[in-house]
Structure 1
C-alpha cells in the first residue's frame, strides 16, 4: 500500500501527469466565501457555480452532508466539492467539521477517481475553517483512498 505524498505548494496547481481530481470540503449551507474555495474561484468559476446551483436545487439532487459533486475544469482536471461540514462557525455544537460526512464523500471520490484513472490532490481538508484535526482526517484518507489504490498528494502552502 502506498502512502500519502506531502508537498509544499498550491493544491489548485496539482503536480504530476494524468487526470487529477482536486478535493476540498464545503459546508451544508450553500456558503462559498472563505478559505480554500477562494483560491479555487480565482482559478475557475465552475466549481462555485456548480456548488451554488447544487445547493439551490437541493430538494431532489442528493445535496447534504457526505455528498460529493464532481466538476470538470479542464481536459484532465476535476474538482470535487465535498459537503463535509455543518454550518460555518464553531459554536455550541462544536466545530463545523463532520468526519463521518468527509468519510462518506471520500468514498464517492474513490469511486470517481477509479473511473477516471485519476490521482487525488488536496489541501489539509477539514482542518482550516472547518476546525478539524489532521490526526482524524488522515486515517480516513488512508482507508478510503490509499487502500483503494488511489494516489493522494496533500499540499501545504509554503
Structure 2
C-alpha cells in the first residue's frame, strides 16, 4: 500500500498508533526514541523490561499503550551516530509483525481488535543509516492491511513533498 507522507511532528500529532525503530542493545536515549522516552514513558518501560529479561530480539516489536499505542520495532542490532546500523531483514520482520497486529489486534490495549492506520518517522533512515528507498519498498510491500503514514520533520531532507512526488518503482 502506498505511503502517505506528512510534514510535521509525529509525537505532537493526534496519531493513535506510532511505530519507531529501536536497537537491541538497550539504548533508548537519542533520536526519535529519545522523544518517545519523554512523552510516552510506558514505551521505555516496556522496552527496558524486555532488555532486563534478555528479550530484545531483532525483528520483533514491543508494544506499549499510554494514551496511544507505541510499537518499539527492533530494527537495529547496534546503534551510534555514524555508520549503518539498520537490518533490512529486521525491518521486514517488524513490518510483518505490525501488519499482523493491525489485523489481529494488540491484547490488553484499546487496539485488541486491530487498527487501520499506523504512523512512523523515516524509520531506520537517520540514526540507523539505512537507505529510505529500500526501507520504503519493504514498508509498502509488507504493510498490506493498514494505511501507513510517514512523518517528516519540517526542514528535513528529503521533504515530505519531495518523497510524495517522486516516481515509484
TM bracket, shorter-chain basis: 0.7 to 0.9
Residue of structure 1 equivalent to 2:96 = 107
Matches within 5 A, 1:1-158: 2-15=1-14, 20-58=16-54, 61=55, 63-74=56-67, 77-89=68-80, 95-114=84-103, 115=105, 116-145=114-143, 148-158=144-154
For the 8 Å contact 2:18–2:119, the answer to whether it is kept is yes
| Poorly superposed stretches of 4+, deviation over 3 Å | 13-16
How many residue pairs end up in the alignment? 145
Which structure 2 residue ranges, 5 or more long, are not aligned? 106-113, 155-169
For residue 42 of structure 1, report the CA deviation from its aligned partner.
2.0
Q: 1:142 to 1:132 in 2, by over 3 A?
A: same
TM-score by length of 2: 0.80
Structure 2 Cα separation of the partners of residues 143 and 72 of structure 1 = 27
Asked which structure has the greater RCO (Cα within 8 Å, sep 6+), the reply is: 1
Distance 1:150 1:29 in 2: 29
- RMSD over aligned Cα atoms: 1.7
CA distance in structure 2 between the aligned counterparts of 1:149 and 1:65, rounded to whole angstroms? 22
Separation in 2 of the partners of 1:81 and 1:14? 18
Equivalent residues of 1:90, 1:96 under 8 A apart: no
Return the offset for 1:13. Answer: 3.2
